[in-house]
Amino acid sequence: MSSTFGTLFRVTTFGESHCKAVGAVVDGCPPGMELSAEDIQPQLDRRRPGQSHLTTPRNEADQVQILSGTEGGLTLGTPIGLTVANKDQRPRDYGSMSQVPRPSHADYTYRAKYGIHAASGGGRSSARETIGRVAAGAIAEKYLRQVFDIEVVAYVSSVGTVDAPQIDLATLDRPAVDASMVRCPDAEAAAEMEAAIVAAKEDQDSLGGVITCVCRNVPVGLGEPVFDKLEATLAQAMLSLPATKGFEIGSGFAGTRLRGSEHNDRFVMKGERLGTATNNSGGIQGGISNGEPIVFRVAFKPTATIGIAQTTVDLDGNEVSLSAEGRHDPCVLPRAVPIVESMAALVLADMALVQKMRV
Amino acid sequence: MSSTFGTLFRVTTFGESHCKAVGAVVDGCPPGMELSAEDIQPQLDRRRPGQSHLTTPRNEADQVQILSGTEGGLTLGTPIGLTVANKDQRPRDYGSMSQVPRPSHADYTYRAKYGIHAASGGGRSSARETIGRVAAGAIAEKYLRQVFDIEVVAYVSSVGTVDAPQIDLATLDRPAVDASMVRCPDAEAAAEMEAAIVAAKEDQDSLGGVITCVCRNVPVGLGEPVFDKLEATLAQAMLSLPATKGFEIGSGFAGTRLRGSEHNDRFVMKGERLGTATNNSGGIQGGISNGEPIVFRVAFKPTATIGIAQTTVDLDGNEVSLSAEGRHDPCVLPRAVPIVESMAALVLADMALVQKMRV
Amino acid sequence: MSSTFGTLFRVTTFGESHCKAVGAVVDGCPPGMELSAEDIQPQLDRRRPGQSHLTTPRNEADQVQILSGTEGGLTLGTPIGLTVANKDQRPRDYGSMSQVPRPSHADYTYRAKYGIHAASGGGRSSARETIGRVAAGAIAEKYLRQVFDIEVVAYVSSVGTVDAPQIDLATLDRPAVDASMVRCPDAEAAAEMEAAIVAAKEDQDSLGGVITCVCRNVPVGLGEPVFDKLEATLAQAMLSLPATKGFEIGSGFAGTRLRGSEHNDRFVMKGERLGTATNNSGGIQGGISNGEPIVFRVAFKPTATIGIAQTTVDLDGNEVSLSAEGRHDPCVLPRAVPIVESMAALVLADMALVQKMRV
Amino acid sequence: MSSTFGTLFRVTTFGESHCKAVGAVVDGCPPGMELSAEDIQPQLDRRRPGQSHLTTPRNEADQVQILSGTEGGLTLGTPIGLTVANKDQRPRDYGSMSQVPRPSHADYTYRAKYGIHAASGGGRSSARETIGRVAAGAIAEKYLRQVFDIEVVAYVSSVGTVDAPQIDLATLDRPAVDASMVRCPDAEAAAEMEAAIVAAKEDQDSLGGVITCVCRNVPVGLGEPVFDKLEATLAQAMLSLPATKGFEIGSGFAGTRLRGSEHNDRFVMKGERLGTATNNSGGIQGGISNGEPIVFRVAFKPTATIGIAQTTVDLDGNEVSLSAEGRHDPCVLPRAVPIVESMAALVLADMALVQKMRV
Domains and CATH numbers, chain C: 4-355 (3.60.150.10)
D230-239 and C230-239 helices, crossing angle to 10° = 160
For chain D, the average pLDDT equals 92
Contact A14 D91 (CB under 8 A): no
pLDDT tens readout for residues C105-118: 999 999 999 887 66
Residue B2: pLDDT band with limits 50, 70, 90: confident
Q: Report CA-CA distances (Å) from D300 to B79, B183, B307, D128.
A: 37, 65, 69, 16
Q: What's the pLDDT score for residue D1?
A: 52
Q: What tens digit of pLDDT does each residue of A17-71 get?
A: 889 999 999 999 999 999 999 999 999 999 988 777 776 665 568 999 999 999 9
**Residue B57 CB neighbour total at 10 angstroms:** 10
CA B107 to chain centre: 21
The whole-number pLDDT of residue D313 equals 95
pLDDT score for C123: 76
Percent of chain A whose predicted confidence (pLDDT) is above 70: 92
Percentage of chain C lying above the pLDDT 70 cut: 92
Cβ–Cβ < 8 Å for D235, C235: yes
> What is the crossing angle of helices C130-148 and C37-47, to 10°?
130
| Gap between the Cα atoms of D77 and B38, Å rounded | 40
Query: What number is the average pLDDT over the span C121-128?
Result: 76
Select from A235, A283, A251 the least CA-distant residue to B208: A251
CA dihedral of residues D25, D31, D33, D37 (deg, nearest 10): 20
- Rounded Cα distance between C83 and C78, Å, is 16
Ordered DSSP codes for D130-164: HHHHHHHHHHHHHHHHHHH--EEEEEEEEETTEE-
Q: Which of A213-217, C60-64, C175-179, C267-271 has the lowest mean pLDDT?
A: C60-64
In A228-239, which positions are buried (b, 16+ CB within 10 angstroms) versus exposed (e)?
Answer: bbbbbbbbbbbb
ipTM of the complex: 0.96
Q: Residues 180-219, chain D: which have Cβ within 8 Å of C? A: 200, 203, 205-210
Sign of the Cα pseudo-torsion (C87, C89, C94, C99, in order): positive
* pLDDT > 90? residue D2: no
Contact indicator for D338, D116 with CB cutoff of 8 Å: no
CB C35 within 8 A of CB C304: no
Average pLDDT of chain C?
92
How many beta-carbon contacts under 8 Å exist across B and D?
39
Q: Is the pLDDT of residue A115 over 90?
A: no
Cα angle for residues C38, C42, C47 (degrees, 5° grid): 140
B118 touches chain C (CB under 8 A): yes
Average pLDDT over residues A337-355: 97
Confidence of residue A103 (pLDDT cuts 50, 70, 90): very high
Q: Which residues contact D270 (CB under 8 A, 6 or more apart)?
A: none
Residues of D in contact with C351 (CB under 8 A): none
Are the beta carbons of A124 and B252 separated by less than 8 Å?
no
What is the spatial distance between Cα A200 and Cα C100, in angstroms, rounded to a whole number?
73
- The partner residue sitting opposite C359, judged by closest CB among A7, A30, A359, is A30
Q: How confident is the model at residue B359 (pLDDT cuts 50, 70, 90)?
A: very low
Which DSSP symbol is given to A105? S
Q: What is the mean pLDDT of residues B71-85?
A: 95
Confidence of residue C359 (pLDDT cuts 50, 70, 90): very low
Alpha-carbon gap, residue A200 to D160, rounded angstroms: 74
Q: Smallest Cα–Cα separation from C220: which of C125, C291, C149?
A: C291
Of B31, B39, B36, B37, residue with least CA distance to B78: B31
Amino acid making up residue D30 = P
* Contact yes or no for B20/B85 (Cβ under 8 A): yes
Specify burial of residue B316 (Cβ count, 10 A radius: 0-12, 13-18, 19+): exposed
For the stretch C299-311, what's the b/e string if a residue is b when 16 or more beta carbons lie within 10 angstroms of its beta carbon?
Answer: bbbbbbbbbeebe
A285 to chain B, any CB pair closer than 8 A? The answer is: yes
Directed axis angle between helix D333-355 and helix D230-239, to 10°?
Answer: 150
Q: Comparing C-alpha atoms, which of B75, C132, B253, C135 is closest to residue A238?
A: B253
Residue A250 with chain B: CB contacts under 8 Å: 245
For residues B342 and B43, the answer to whether their CB atoms sit within 8 Å is: yes
What would the mean pLDDT of D330-343 be, rounded to a whole number?
97
Q: Which B-chain residues 208-267 have CB contacts (< 8 A) with chain A? A: 208-210, 220-221, 223-229, 231-240, 242, 244-253, 255-267
β-bridge partners, C312:
C320
| B346/B139 Cα distance (integer angstroms) | 9
Confidence (pLDDT) at C356: 82
> How many angstroms from the chain centroid is the CA of residue D154?
9
How distant is the alpha carbon of residue D301 from its chain centre?
13
Quick one: pLDDT band at residue B325, thresholds 50, 70, 90? confident
- What pairing do the DSSP bridges indicate for beta strands A4-5 and A10-14? antiparallel
Chain C residue at shortest CA distance from D329: C260
Strands (E), chain C: 4-5, 10-14, 21-27, 64-66, 70-71, 74-75, 80-85, 151-159, 162-163, 209-216, 244-249, 267-270, 273-276, 284-285, 288-289, 294-300, 310-313, 319-322
pTM of the model: 0.96
Q: Which of D336, D16, D39 is nearest to D184 (CA)?
A: D336
Collect all residues of chain C within an 8 Å Cβ-Cβ radius of residue D106.
Answer: 225, 285-288
- Within 8 A of D4 by CB-CB distance, chain A residues are 4, 10, 12, 27
Q: Is pLDDT at A212 greater than 70 in this prediction?
A: yes
Report helix angle A333-355 to A37-47, nearest 10: 140
C23: closest CA among C129, C139, C141, C123? C129
- What pLDDT, in 10s, does the model give residues C324-348? 876 678 999 999 999 999 999 999 9
Among the listed residues D334, D348, D350, the one whose alpha carbon sits nearest the alpha carbon of residue D216: D348
**Segment (H or E) for B37:** helix B37-47
Amino acid at D38: E
Read off the amino acid at residue D301. Answer: K
Mean pLDDT of B71-93: 84
Contact (Cβ atoms closer than 8 angstroms) between residue D178 and residue D155: no
| Cα distance between residue C155 and residue C111, in whole Å | 34
Residues 6 or more apart in contact with residue B42 via CB below 8 angstroms: B138
- Tens of pLDDT along D9-55? 999 999 988 899 999 999 999 999 999 999 999 999 999 887 777 76
Q: Which of A200-209, B122-131, B223-232, B341-350 has the lowest mean pLDDT?
A: B122-131
pLDDT tens-digit series, residues B196-215: 999 999 999 999 999 999 99
C190 pLDDT above the threshold of 90: yes
Q: Judge whether C2 and D347 are in contact, CB under 8 Å.
A: no
* A70-85 per-position pLDDT tens digit: 999 999 999 999 999 9
Supply the pLDDT for residue D49: 83
Beta partners for residue C14, in sequence order: C23
Condensed to tens digits (0 to 9), the pLDDT of residues A280-318 reads 999 999 999 999 999 999 999 999 999 999 999 999 999
Identify the chains in contact with C, defined as 3+ C-beta pairs within 8 A: A, B, D
State whether B76 and C119 contact (CB < 8 Å): no
Which B positions 37-76 lie with beta carbon below 8 A of chain C? 65-72, 74-76
Chain B nearest-CA distance from C271, in A, is 36
CA gap A156, A335 in Å, rounded: 10
Cβ C133 vs Cβ C11: under 8 Å: yes
**pLDDT tens per residue, range A28-41:** 999 999 999 999 99
C242 and D288 Cβ atoms separated by less than 8 Å: no
Q: Exposed, middle or buried, D323 (CB in 10 Å: 0-12/13-18/19+)?
A: exposed
A301 CB neighbour count, 10 Å cutoff: 28
Residue C174's closest CA among C19, C45, C296? C45
Asked if the Cβ–Cβ distance from C2 to D260 is below 8 Å, we say: no
Q: At D51, which amino acid appears?
A: Q
Q: What is the pLDDT of residue A359?
A: 45
* Beta-ladder partners of A85: A21
DSSP conformation class of A259: B
- Nearest 5°: phi and psi at D212? -105, 140
Q: Is B96 a residue whose pLDDT tops 90? A: no
CA distance A46 to A333: 12
User: Which chains sit next to D, with 3 or more Cβ pairs under 8 A?
Assistant: A, B, C
